[in-house]
Amino acid sequence: EPEVTQTPSHQVTQMGQEVILRCVPISNHLYFYWYRQILGQKVEFLVSFYNNEISEKSEIFDDQFSVERPDGSNFTLKIRSTKLEDSAMYFCASGWGGNIEQFFGPGTRLTVL
């Protein structure tokens, strides 16, 4: 059964550094999402992406964040200058469309020192 994959599983970086989190959604899906979960808190929506553009972004998704689907298979989340408070588990999800099940990746744990 196809699954969403994410790399790396754990990323450690210094404050102020740029990080790119990578996701490979399920191949025939059209809708892509990033969520994050700070330790002990709820899973929070960051951004949704469809037809090569952002559909919606949350307040968390400020100018330091960007998303890209560079080659039709990968879906990346970039944080330009990481802050301590960016430390969290980041989940990628994809779906066929609209209000149908979203399939989640295993997550990337980002630790900012």
Partner 1 sequence: AQRVTQPEKLLSVFKGAPVELKCNYSYSGSPELFWYVQYSRQRLQLLLRHISRESIKGFTADLNKGETSFHLKKPFAQEEDSAMYYCALSGRSGGSNYKLTFGKGTLLTVNP
Q: Which residues are at the interface with partner 1 (CB under 8 A)? A: 3-4, 31, 33, 35, 41-45, 48-51, 54-56, 58, 91, 93, 97-99, 101-107
Closer of 3 and 62 to partner 1 (Cβ) = 3
At closest approach, how far in Å is the CB of 9 from partner 1?
11
Neighbours of 32 (CB within 10 A): 22
Give CA separation, 100 vs 9, 78, 83, 84, 86, in Å: 26, 26, 34, 34, 29
Closer of 34 and 82 to partner 1 (Cβ) = 34
At closest approach, how far in Å is the CB of 14 from partner 1?
28
22 exposure class (CB count in 10 Å sphere: 0-12, 13-18, 19+)? middle
